[in-house]
Structures are given as C-alpha cells and as structure tokens.
Chains A and B, each alone.
Chain A
Amino acid sequence: MAFTSMAFVMFLALAVAAYYVTPKRYRWVTLLVVNYVFYYFAGVKYFVYLLATTITTYIATRKLGKMAEENKTAYNAAKAELDKEGKKRWKAEFTKKKRRVLIPALVFNFGILAVLKYSGFVTENLNALFARISVPVELPVFHFLLPLGISFYTFQTMGYLIDVYREKTAPEKNIGKLALFISFFPQIVQGPIGRFQNLSKQLFEGNSFSYERTKFGVQLMMWGAFKKLVIADRASVMVDNIFGFPDTFGGTYVAVAALIYCIQLYGDFSGGIDIATGAAQLFGVDLDKNFERPYLATSIPDFWRRWHITLGAWFRDYVFYPLSLSKFFMKVGKKGRQVLGNYIGKLLPVLIPQFIVFFLIGIWHGAEWKYIAFGFYNGTLIVLGILFEQPLQELAKKLGIRTECFSWHLFRILRTLVLVALGKIITRAAGFSLSVSMMKSMVLNWDTDILWNGGLLQLGLDRQDMWVLFLSCLVLLAVSIMQEKGIHVRETLAKQNLYFRWAVYLGGIFTLIIFGIYGLNYNAADFIYRGF
C-alpha cells in the first residue's frame, strides 16, 4: 500500500476512526491490530520475520531485565566488602554475562536481515571470484524478496534491545506492547527509526483526540504528498532519462541529473517521512525528526546530521561510540599519538570508526558495490574534512577571507551540495564503473549550452512541467528557509485569518490534485526508500 495511494488514505481513515472509537485503555490494542492488518496487506508470509524479531527480542530483553534486577540486589549486598578493583571486576563479570544474552539475539536478528538482503550479493561475488581463480565451485544464489520495512524495524528493535542491555530503559513486560512498538505502521515502511524511550508512552497510553493535532497531521501529510507527487515524481522523469541513457546524455547533463536527483530523492524520502509523521500524529504519536533541511548544510558532517537523522543517530549511538570508546581503539589512539604525533593520533579512534560507520551506512542502502563506494566516498570526505580543517582555516585567515558573512555561508552550502550531488551520482548510476564514466564525461564534455538551447527539454519534461517543477522547488526552498529561521509554518498559518488560510489550503489541495503525477499515464513510482 503506497503512501500516496487512495487505499492508504482510506485505510488510515478507518484506522483513525477505529482508534478513537476504542475505549482509551484498549487503544493500543486497536493500534496493534491495525498494524498487523497493514502488514498483512504487504504479504502474509512476511509475518514470520516480523514475529521472529518480536519474540526473540521479547525473550532477550526480559532475560536482561531479570538479570539486571538480580545483579542489583547481589551487588548492593556485596558492595561494602568490595574494593575498587573488586567493583570493576564485578562489573566486567556482569557485562560478560549480559553479553551472552545480547549477542545471540543481535546475531539472530541482524542475521535474518543479512541473509535476506546480502546473501545474493555475497554468493554472486564469491562465484565470480571462484570463476576467476578457477575454483570449480558454484554456490547457489538466492535473491529474496525483502519483507516490508525489515531494515527499519530491525534497526529500531535492535536499538531497543541494546538500550535494555545498557539499562537505559526497562524491558517491556507486555509482548503485545512490544509488538506494537515494532510494527507501528506509519513508520514501518520507511522510518524514521524510532527510540523506545520516545515512543513507548505515546503508543501504549490511549491518546485523546485533538482537533488541532489532527489538522496539523493532515497538513503535514499533504505537504509530504506535494513533495512526493508534484516534485519528486516529476523530477524522476528527467533523472530516469539521463541515468537510463548515459551515452546520449553526457557532459553537463550529468550535472543536471545529479542536481535534479538530489531534489527527487529529498522530495521522495522526506515527503514519505512527512506523510508517516503526519499519519502518526493522527494517533497522537510524535515520531522522531528525520530531516532538517539537509541541503542547507554547511559541511558533509552537517549534512549527515540533517539527512536521515534517525539512521545517523542509530549508527552514532550503537556503532560509533561503542567502537571508538572500545579498549581497542583507545589503545590505537595512544599508539597513534606516539607514532603519528598528537594531532592525527588523537583523531585515529574517531576516524577509523567513522569510516566503518559510513561503510555500514553504505551497505545499509543496498547490497551492491556502488553503495559500498558511496560509503567510502562519504567516509573519505569526512576524514579529509577533519584533517584539513585547521590548515584551511589558517589559509582563509592568511588570504583575508571573512568567514562570518552570508556569502561565505552560502559558499559553504553550495560546496556541500556539490559534494553531496557527486555522491548521489554514485548511488543512482546503474553501476559504480558507470558512475565514474559519467563523472568523467561531465568534466571532459562540459557544455552549458544545453541549459539554454532547449537541451533540457529532451529529458521527458516539457516547458510547462519544467515551470511547475521550478516553482514547486521555489516553494520548497522558501518553506525551508522559513523553518531554518525558526518559523513554525503550520502554527504561523493557523494564526492568519480564515480567508487566507482557506485559500492556502485549497490552493495546496488543488495543486496536489492538478499537478501531482499520479493516475494512468504515470505510474506513481513507489517510494525510492521503500526497497531498502
């Protein structure tokens, strides 16, 4: 059920009605049933995976919770007799014990994801390797259909598991409530990846109906649909043409494609997230923020703090910190300082885990070499950014460049955008080598004439569509700048007088109906991020 389909709208309306009809105490049960009905539409056979994750997580977290309780009692009893070393040892012992529960659960659940998502890729490449070195072995290659939202719900659930392990949150005792947390339908499709601490109360306590909140939720959904149907699906026509025929469209077309693809991907992904967030609001649930105007970022790290925020935060909390604070990397840091000097040595325990994180984020997007390349591209940019930060600042000072003004800020935004766009070429091109040749062609055959001589009109959009795309992007930019300045658009709008408000609402709805790309001639492309 695509977010922009009528089926989804109707499903959502029924679900909301069912939710508020139910007595408050049982609203969470209704929500769970609704989630499972939604998941049922996606394919009944996928329930196995969802249930496996739910049950194993439930068992592991309950066990961890019980262990923590027992440990606390025992520790308090023994505490007085322990010296500092003894306390340390006690802690280490207990951690080891907890890991015996944590690790099998992690391996099992990430294992499902890995097998379903990556086994095809791995066996294919192994076979290619065997063929090259003439080993007469051929592994069977399986390509599985991915259960709906498996990348998202697995990460969300494992985050919860680790939080219980870290005793950040108490384990949920009711398996039904845990199942609800894992399967909340607005967010299971494409995130955001939620945290138990944030969601549990909102999901489990019956929320009262609020007219204001519902209105805001619907508005946010419309805004998301605008980004998706009017902007992203229109932009995709051009993008598909250029990337589909890289031999025909080289040179400046590649730059155009990269830029338009940035727009498409943002419209598509953040539009979907807006719809999910708006839909969740109808149930009184506030999801975590997933985007914060990423294209206004001033550096690559800044971009990753604004793009797909919940994924970045997940990797930061559950991969980056544990890795960089591990004994191993602490040692690496100390060694590094002795060998490479203070500045770089200190950075080593940051840089290497950062690289690993970007490698993982890369393959999270898909089992293909190009995503690995994408991960390395971002990792490299960040590392270079850190290494050259100080020298560049000094250079700027020497050249007398003022860095506190708008033009410098704008320069940083555009520079970041260019770097991001180049990265997008890697992920969008049909393969990694193709993306390299496209970039080569961009540099060698640069020809800005196509921007003026009608070359842009050969990409499947006519002049009228181009105008709609352009004006829609302006609206998007204007709203983004307002938000960046701290203006709450919906709240500000709500304060205007009725005629103006209604004009805006009607204008918005009919823009969507008239200029949206949907219906027969256009196959409203499924959300790009859904496959991940």
Chain B
Amino acid sequence: MGKKINIIARCSAFCLVFALVFTQMTQMYIRRDDETNEIHAFYGEEENTVDVLYVGSSPLLRGVSPMLMYRDYGYTGYVRASALQAPSVTYGLLAESLNYQTPQVVVLGCDNLFQEYDYAEREGDLRRALDGMKLSGYKWRIIREVAEADERQTELSYIFPLLRYHERWKEVNPAEAETEPLMQHSFKKGHVYLRQAEPQEYPENFMEPTGETVAFDESALEYTKKSIALCKEKGIEVVILHLPKMSWTYEMSQALEEFAQEQGVAYVDMDREEIRNEIGLDPQTEYYDQGHVNLAGSVKVTAWLGAYLDSHYDLPDHRGDENYAQWDADLAQYLEVSGVS
C-alpha cells in the first residue's frame, strides 16, 4: 500500500513538473500577435464592466477605439476582433464574452458574410483569434469544426499551441524569448492601431449601383444569425457595422442593410455618402491600406461612432466613478502611448 502511494505521489509530481515546463515552453514558442494578446486580455476586465462589445474582422480592431469613446462619453467598450475572423469564431468569441460581460450593445463587423471561409487556407488567422481564447465549450466547438474541415489541423494543437509552434525553435532564441503568459490586461481595449499611411483613392463610381450580384455565404449567414439571435435572447442591442474600405460596393451595402432590416437590427455603413461626409476621412493620409484606417483615421471614425452610439443608446457615463478608476488610468496611458490628443 505504501509503495502504491509512493508511486502515485511520484507520478503526480512528475506530471506537475512536466506541466510547468510545458507551460514555459508554450509561452516561449507561441506566436504573440497583438490581436491574440488583446483578445486574451479581455479576461482581465472586471466582470460586467463593459458596455459595448465589438466582434468581427480586422477593420474593427484598426478603426474602433473604446478608450476615446470613454474619454468623450464615459461608456466602456472592448474590441475582440482579429484579421479575417471566421464567422464561427466571431460567434464563439461573442458567446464566450457574454459569460464575462453584460454589454448593452454588441457591434458586429459583418464584412465576412460575403466570403466563403476556407479553414485550410486560413490557419494563421484562426490561430490569431483562437490562441487568445481560453479553452471552453465555445472554443472546442470551433476547433472541432476546423479539424473536421481540414484534416491537417488537430483539436489538440489548438488546445496545446506548443504542438503547433514547436517548429519555431529555429527562430526563437531561448535566451531572449519571452516567458510571460499572454497579455493579462490591456489599456488599448482591443484597439490595435497602426500609424503608417498609404495614400488611397476612391475607385471610380464608388458606391454606385453596377448591377453586380452579391451573395452571402451559407455558413457565414447562419453564424451571423446565431450571433444576432443570441444577443436578442439576452436583451442586447445589435449594430451591424461596416467600416471604411475602398473595395466596398453599393450592392454589398444594400444586401447588408436588407439583412439588418430582416433581422430587426441597426445597420451603420461608413461608406454611405452621408456618413462618409460627416466622418470626413482624408484618403491620402488616414488609411493604412485600402481596407483599414490608420490611427488618425480611427480617431475620426471613433469620434463619429462614439457620438452615434451615445445618441442612439442609453449608455452610462462611468467617468469619475471610483469603480472605474482603472479605466481612467488606462485612458491616461492610452493617450500617452498613442499620442492622440
């Protein structure tokens, strides 16, 4: 009997040591994208303190600054967006987030509705979002779907990212490698801005009818409907948001608006002429590339969106509330680091 206990104790101790080393190794070799960090740092927010939640693809994380809205109106927000976010990931992230936070408004970036999402092609983009997500039923369902669609990818490699990133041993210098966990707290609240500017020009006949036919992807549509249904069920308002993008078309805009009406949710299209004029982006200096605004652009986009949300929804003002002291501190840091005035 004593021997048995001894063996069990030794085995457990070994497993513990193994787990410690494994975690360290994972942290050494995992690819740390900004958006992965931001998605992960969401868990660091106090529960039930986020008023507006943003989920969807990269235009959101480049263009929306919850911190500036907090400065101007006092309501809080967090962007859990990632490059080319799969609709299934958007849904999973949203559903998971609602376990931690009770936002009044959810802003959905829905540009991905028109795309057929190929899990095999988009492994990197999937990882950007999923590596930042804790393991949960939501994550499990996504990675199941991915592993079923692409046999080269395994659930296990998403649960234990080291099994994916181990081959980075060549590029990571162990002496210099970060051994910290992913980011625990974000002062940017998911706004991963970029400063460079690439001069853009509106295409000829931008946002004018051409008669092209556009269609939603079946699976994307289904997930977006699920996302909306989930919000409705929880009594959360939904805004479908399109951010400035040079390749956007009149037909896509129309289709999305119709969809929003059908679902009974709000639709905001920043490429519609009236809004475009109000925002007043300078294509020469305020775009990072044709599909994303840069920091200067995001300031303008956020100013407009902040006002829109403030006027359409009854969002609280937390400024000065001592429970939100951390937000004030984060704001100060955000302004200092970004240099936005």
Contacts and interface: CB of A to CB of B under 8 A. Distances in A.
The answer to whether A and B touch directly, with their CB atoms under 8 angstroms apart, is yes
Contacts of A520: 123, 152-153, 157, 164
B214 interface: no
Contacts of A506: 17-18, 21
A441 to B, nearest CB: 32
A6 B156 contact: yes
Contacts of B274: none
B25 A509 contact: no
A519 B170 contact: no
Contacts of B164: 519-520
Interface string B158-185: 0000111011011000000000000000
B202 interface: no
Interface string B106-135: 000000000000000001000000000000
B25 A513 contact: yes
A521 B164 CA distance: 9
Interface range for A: 20 to 34
Nearest to B163: A519
B157 A519 contact: yes
Interface in A473-532: 502, 505-506, 509-510, 513-516, 518-523
B154 interface: yes
A210 to B, nearest CB: 11
B26 to A, nearest CB: 10
B78 to A, nearest CB: 31
A390 interface: no
A462 interface: yes
B7 interface: yes
Nearest to A522: B167
Contacts of B152: 520, 523
Nearest to A9: B156
Interface string A183-219: 0000000000000000000000000000100000000
Interface of A is mostly: helix
Contacts of B123: 520
Interface range for B: 20 to 34
A211 B7 contact: yes
B17 A502 contact: yes
B308 interface: no
B25 A514 contact: yes
Contacts of A453: none
Interface of B is mostly: helix
A174 interface: no
Contacts of B14: 502, 505
B189 to A, nearest CB: 32
A464 interface: yes
Nearest to B7: A211
A522 to B, nearest CB: 8
Interface string B8-44: 0000001001100110010001000000000000000
A242 to B, nearest CB: 22
Contacts of A518: 163
Contacts of B157: 519-520
Contact of B162 (A465, A513, A522, A523): A513
Nearest to A521: B167
Interface in B44-92: none
B68 to A, nearest CB: 39
Nearest to A7: B154
Given A6-B156, A523-B152, A462 B163 contact: no
Contacts of A521: 167
Nearest to B170: A464
B149 to A, nearest CB: 14
A516 B157 CA distance: 14
Contacts of A523: 152
A520 B120 CA distance: 10
A519 B29 CA distance: 15
A4 to B, nearest CB: 12
Contacts of A465: 170
B151 to A, nearest CB: 10
Which of A462, A509, A513, A516 has the most chain B CB atoms inside 10 A of its CB? A513
Contacts of A211: 7
Interface in A1-55: 6
Nearest to B152: A520
Contacts of B169: 464, 514-515
Nearest to A513: B166
Contact of A514 (B17, B18, B166): B166
Nearest to A505: B14
Given A6-B154, A502-B14, A519 B167 contact: yes
A356 B255 CA distance: 75
A211 B6 CA distance: 12
A518 B162 CA distance: 12
Interface string A322-351: 000000000000000000000000000000
Contacts of A516: 166
Interface in A443-482: 462, 464-465
A509 B18 contact: yes
Contacts of B170: 462, 464-465
B166 A519 contact: yes
B21 to A, nearest CB: 6
Contacts of B22: 513
A510 B7 CA distance: 23
Contacts of A509: 18
A506 B170 CA distance: 20
Nearest to B10: A498
Interface string B178-207: 000000000000000000000000000000
B329 to A, nearest CB: 40
Nearest to A516: B166
A513 B163 contact: yes
Nearest to A464: B170
Nearest to A465: B170
A267 B17 CA distance: 29
A506 B29 CA distance: 17
A471 to B, nearest CB: 13
Contacts of B162: 513
Which of B7, B123, B153, B156 has the most chain A CB atoms inside 10 A of its CB? B156
Nearest to A517: B167
Nearest to B13: A502
Contacts of B17: 502, 506
22 contacts: A6-B154, A462-B170, A464-B170, A465-B170, A502-B14, A506-B17, A506-B18, A509-B18, A513-B22, A513-B25, A513-B162, A513-B166, A514-B25, A514-B29, A515-B166, A515-B169, A518-B163, A519-B157, A519-B163, A519-B166, A520-B152, A523-B152
Interface of B: 7, 14, 17-18, 21-22, 25, 29, 123, 152-154, 156-157, 162-164, 166-167, 169-170
Interface of A: 6, 211, 462, 464-465, 502, 505-506, 509-510, 513-516, 518-523
* 4 cross-chain pairs, A with B, having the tightest CB-CB distances, nearest first: A514-B166, A464-B170, A514-B169, A6-B156
Given A465-B170, A519-B163, A520-B152, 10 more contacts: A6-B154, A6-B156, A502-B17, A506-B17, A510-B21, A510-B25, A519-B157, A519-B167, A520-B153, A523-B152
